Chain A
Amino acid sequence: MGDNEICFETDDRYNAFLTTCKKAPHGPGALAGIGVAVKDNISTKGIETTCASKILKGYIPPYDAHVVELLRNSGAAIVGKTNMDEFGMGTTTENSAFGPTLNPCDTGRVPGGSSGGSAAAVAGGMVRMALGTDTGGSIRCPAAFCGIVGLKPTYGRVSRYGLVAYANSLEQIGPMGRTVSDVSDLMQVIAGYDRRDSTSYDRPYTHIPCADINGLRIGIPRQYFGGGVDPEVAAVVTRAIGRLEGLGATTVSCSIPSMEYALAAYYVICTSEASSNLARFDGVRYGPAADSKKPWHEAYQEVRRANFGTEVRRRIMLGTFALSSGYYGKYYAKAQVARMNVKQDFARIFADVDVIAGPTMPTIAFKLGEKSDPLSMYLSDILTVPVNLAGIPAISVPCGKVNGMPVGLQVMGRPWEDERVIDVAFAYEQECV
């Protein structure tokens, strides 16, 4: 690491950051001297990593996540850890134990979640790029709500080593930025094989975005423009797709029948994995102390009840229930079959089209406190979760506004065709910005 430092002074009026590194060292490399924000569920050696939860308050990892090592090696300056929904569980960043993040486009609204802090940091001009994570839309949703660009890579393209696990089989770390080029540059740094992650593939990313989409075939799934989607949002996205046609692309109607149960399958799988991943938080090796005067079981329950937020506890319980004896077949096993069906639906469609396009989110950003019912919150993930179930790449790029709030165009691609998905977003951006 070089001797250089950047000075990161920021007036964080959006509560985007949980930790800021006022003097951030950096070295030489592709991102030399560029300040990058890192979502607070990604382990940073020597820097507090809380996942926006009280149960990790004060936890200082003794190691860097793989992507953080890569960031440092690329010369980037890590300027802070960003706010998020606790352990990634949420769509608005309102589930943070340290207060919600505000949307820079309208501070009365949510920035989206769970990578709301990273999105606000970029949208608010505090950093040029940020790392987020996407389990069921947690990069794409805040990118859409805040009017920036966010990519969820193909599953396995970016190492998860160091990402505090929420749902291992669904999540990926991904780049967020103001422009597609920035996102592409950051992707180049973080993508690639890591032997410590057994689900990681040897697929580096070395792509310069290209705006030529002549002859591109775009699938338009009717489920993305149906009843659950705000008509104004649908109209903006339809117009955006029209601009792509103007650049030489053609559109094809298609259908994803498995969308009927994709959301249910997603929530069964992610809560099941989460219930197991979060069981380790017991106040013994890290986090707030368990009361060693009490017996184990009691002390353990007490620490968790006091330090996990309501949504986290709810999802842990849902997952515990779904995996429990007698229910495994009904929930978890069925969800895996459903997942296979989603994968097959996409594979079938991709035989005839190159990318699939639609809105990222069914609405614009909600007002703070608007969505208080958990199920109604889950339902807003309907357009993003199929991508995670299938493991395919998807990007959200700003494509217009409704009531002054940004709308995101979501472009989904075949496994390993992150480059193509970037190109489509780039083409749109170049054409319309």
Chain B
Amino acid sequence: MATESEVTHIAELADVGIDREELGIFTHQFNAILEYFDVLDRVSGDTAAMSDLCNVMREDEVEPSLPQEEVLRNAAATEDGFIKAPRVM
């Protein structure tokens, strides 16, 4: 079962974050669900069969792109046609 620090680590890995106040009850609920998932240990059988659909492809044809304003429209911050993002270390 996951400890509170493991749960914190998973929250980091998933980049969703957990507040201190919710950590205790969250861990408890998280573990209850994981325990429920243990029933999968009893599953036996082959791995999934091949899908019936395969080789779904399109021809190499150019289609119109969005105008630049449309690409930028929903972005919170832009500069000279670029989308602004926080700095990467």
Contact = CB atoms under 8 A, between A and B. Distances in A.
B partners with A: yes
A308 B33 contact: no
A62 B16 CA distance: 27
Interface string A269-292: 000000100010001111111111
B62 interface: no
B73 A337 contact: no
Q: Which of under 10, 10 to 19, 20 to 34, or 35 or more describes the interface residues of B?
A: 35 or more
Contacts of B39: 260-261, 264
A395 interface: no
Contact of A292 (B32, B37, B44, B84): B84
Contact of B86 (A294, A319, A331, A337): A294
A337 B29 contact: no
Interface string A36-64: 00000000000000000000001110100
Question: A-side binding surface: helix, strand, loop or mixed?
Answer: helix
B15 A297 contact: yes
Contacts, number: 154
Given A199-B53, A264-B39, A314 B30 contact: yes
A376 to B, nearest CB: 9
Nearest to B85: A284
Given A318-B30, A341-B45, A375-B33, A295 B14 contact: no
Contacts of B14: 275, 279, 313, 316-317, 319-320
Given A275-B14, A318-B33, A338 B43 contact: yes
A382 to B, nearest CB: 12
Interface in B68-89: 70, 73-77, 83-89
A375 B74 contact: no
B45 A337 contact: yes
Contacts of A374: 29, 33
Given A288-B76, A378-B33, 9 more contacts: A62-B66, A287-B74, A296-B86, A304-B16, A305-B18, A310-B22, A313-B14, A337-B48, A340-B47
Closest 9 CB pairs of A and B: A289-B76, A305-B17, A286-B74, A320-B14, A299-B86, A334-B40, A198-B56, A313-B16, A338-B43
17 contacts: A62-B70, A199-B53, A261-B39, A263-B36, A264-B36, A275-B14, A284-B76, A286-B75, A288-B76, A298-B86, A313-B18, A317-B11, A324-B10, A334-B40, A338-B40, A340-B48, A375-B29
